[in-house]
A and B are shown apart, each in its own frame.
Chain A
Amino acid sequence: MTDHDEQLREAFETHETLAPDPASVYARVLELSRTYKRRRRTAQVAGTAVLGAGLIAGAIHLPSMLPGPSGGGGVALSVGAPGAAAPSVAPSYSEADLNKDWAAYFAAGYGYNDAVQLAALWNSQNIGFVKAEAGRRLLAGETLPITPHADPTPTPDPNESAEAAAVQAFFNAGYVWDDAVQLATLWHLDDPSRAKVDAGKMLESGQTLPIQPKPDNVAAAKEAAAVGKFFDAGYDYNDAVRLAALWHLKDAYAAKVAGGQKLLAGQTLPINP
């Protein structure tokens, strides 16, 4: 390893800790994805009820449920301190076993919220393991201490939806994070994210903001809208790579933009998503 290898690695590794709080990010991910799902009119919900911040925070300290970069063939799962009815061991599952147990769990009509309940009964924070253990017991002919309840379809919070739409309006108009910082200062707000929402609502109601977006950012926002359209139509990165080759564009991003612009104009693309 050369000197600059080490310097760069150190620079990256000493600053990766700037990463924001995963729990708050996850909450926002769910909020955003609900918006996207509505757009795509896909009503399928796969047991993805909102997780509490505590669960996320707890999970971070648990062994990974998924095979990691150096993982072997098995998937190591562990539980917390065993309670009265807790599984007594921390087994190492094969991928096939895991799939089989999870399939049994869901086939019996249990959902994510049931797993949370079972996790509380079994003193575990590892929801994935709880589902697997419950599935294993069901396959063994045992009954579980709770009856199944299908996960409810999340009902979008109207306030959250309105805020997400406002933020989208803010970005669609070509404003960017720095503008939100500037607006927060002007409006004496502590949080630029709040400024994004307030500004977006003003734009939605036809008002103008005290600062104008930069022309480059407006152009970029138009591109972003095209890219968003591309993804909303169900296309992904691999599709963009294929389109870039078909259209002789320099990269996948150019294909996303070109494809999105065509879709926005009501045209179809030469490949299906």
Chain B
Amino acid sequence: MGGGGRLRGVTFEEFAMARLPSLLRYAVVLTGDRHLAQDIVQEVLARAHVRWRRISEAESPEAYVRRMVLNEYLSWRRTWAARHVHVAGERLVELDDARGGVDDHAQGVVDADALWRRLATLPRKQRAVLVLRYYEQLEDEQIADLLNCSPSTVRSQASKALRKLRLSSERQERVHAEEKS
């Protein structure tokens, strides 16, 4: 997670100028949807602006705001996830159709796109765990602190997510076994 240590006197606009692009990228990765990411970051930063004096005195204002983004994502109007899966999936499939197959793309990009689509099917908490672990590169203990749960819950959520994404060998083995039977 980003740094941004204590720096009294930094105005909100200075903070936003320096950190908004990174916050938006983080929100896109968390939500999988640029519109939702925009809504969430807007909402969070507007609140942060109102309480900026207090936030700027935090140990790490950026970590504080990133935590706000995470919480907003986890609590954002409960039902968005279900519709998001549908919409995001459709949009990406449409994109695939529009570009007429994968011949022009490196296999790595194709794989990344396919995985990105599968990520859209995860429950929010599971996706958050993966984003925090693999994008933010946090330790499970840090993730547990952010998500208000135990490290073992983090590991369990990550494991479930990886199985659902068909990234775990256990799942691969099971599918293989089912195919054989």
A binding-site residues for B, Cβ under 8 Å: 4-5, 7-20, 22, 25-26, 28-30, 32-33, 35-37, 40, 42, 44, 46-48, 51, 55-56, 59-60, 64-71, 75, 95, 98-99, 102-103, 112, 127-128, 176-178, 214, 216-217, 219-221, 223-224, 227, 231, 234, 236-237, 241, 244, 251-253, 256
Question: Can you name 22 A-B pairs with beta carbons within 8 Å?
Answer: A7-B115, A8-B130, A8-B135, A12-B134, A14-B112, A15-B32, A15-B116, A18-B28, A30-B49, A36-B46, A36-B47, A37-B50, A55-B17, A66-B4, A67-B3, A67-B7, A68-B4, A95-B7, A178-B83, A217-B79, A223-B77, A234-B51
Known A12-B134, A22-B21, A25-B38; further 20 A-B contacts with Cβ < 8 A:
A4-B165, A11-B113, A11-B115, A12-B131, A16-B26, A20-B34, A25-B42, A29-B41, A29-B49, A95-B6, A127-B13, A127-B17, A176-B83, A177-B80, A178-B87, A219-B78, A220-B79, A231-B47, A236-B51, A237-B71
- Answer whether A112 and B11 are a contact pair too, CB < 8 Å, given A19-B28, A20-B24, A65-B17: yes
Cβ contacts under 8 Å, A42 to chain B: 50
B168 within 8 A of A: yes
Overall SS of chain B's interface? helix
On whether the beta carbons of A15 and B24 are closer than 8 Å, the reply is no
5 A-B pairs with the lowest CB-CB distances in the bound complex, closest first: A32-B46, A33-B49, A59-B17, A19-B24, A4-B167
Interface flag for B27 (CB, 8 Å): yes
Interface residues of B (CB under 8 A from A): 1-21, 24-29, 32, 34-39, 41-43, 45-47, 49-53, 61-62, 67-68, 71, 74-75, 77-80, 83, 87, 108-109, 111-113, 115-116, 119, 130-131, 134-135, 148, 162, 165, 167-168
Cβ of B15: which chain A residues have Cβ within 8 Å of it? 66
Contact B46 A5 (CB under 8 A): no
User: Are B12 and A102 interface neighbours, CB within 8 A?
Assistant: no
Measured in the bound complex, the distance between the Cα atoms of B178 and A190 in whole Å is: 48
CA distance A198 to B71 in the complex (A): 30
Closest to A28 in B: B42
Q: Is the beta-carbon distance between B79 and A176 smaller than 8 angstroms?
A: yes
B45 x A99 contact (CB < 8 A): no
Rounded to whole angstroms, the CA-CA distance of A39 and B142 in the bound complex is: 35
Contacts A46-B52, A253-B74; A16 near B80 (Cβ below 8 A): no
Interface contact tally, CB-CB below 8 A: 209
Best-surrounded residue of A9, A25, A48 (most CB of chain B within 10 A): A25
| Cross-interface CB contact of B80 among A37, A127, A176, cutoff 8 Å | A176
- Residues in A neighbouring B80, C-beta threshold 8 A: 176-177
Q: A8-B115, A9-B135, A66-B10 are in contact. Are A25 and B167 (CB under 8 A)?
A: no
CB-nearest residue of chain B to A9 = B134
Cα-based distance from A253 to B1 in the complex (angstroms): 22
Nearest-Cβ distance from residue B116 to partner chain A, whole angstroms? 5
* Complex-state Cα separation, A234 to B18, whole angstroms: 26
**Nearest Cβ on chain B to A93's Cβ, whole angstroms:** 10
Whether B3 lies near A51 (C-beta < 8 A) is: no
Measured between beta carbons, the chain A residues less than 8 angstroms from B68 are: 237
Q: Are B14 and A65 in contact (CB under 8 A)?
A: yes
Q: Residue of B at shortest CB range from A42?
A: B50
B83 (CB) vs chain A CBs: closest residue: A178
Chain B CB within 10 Å, residue with most, of A69, A221, A234: A69
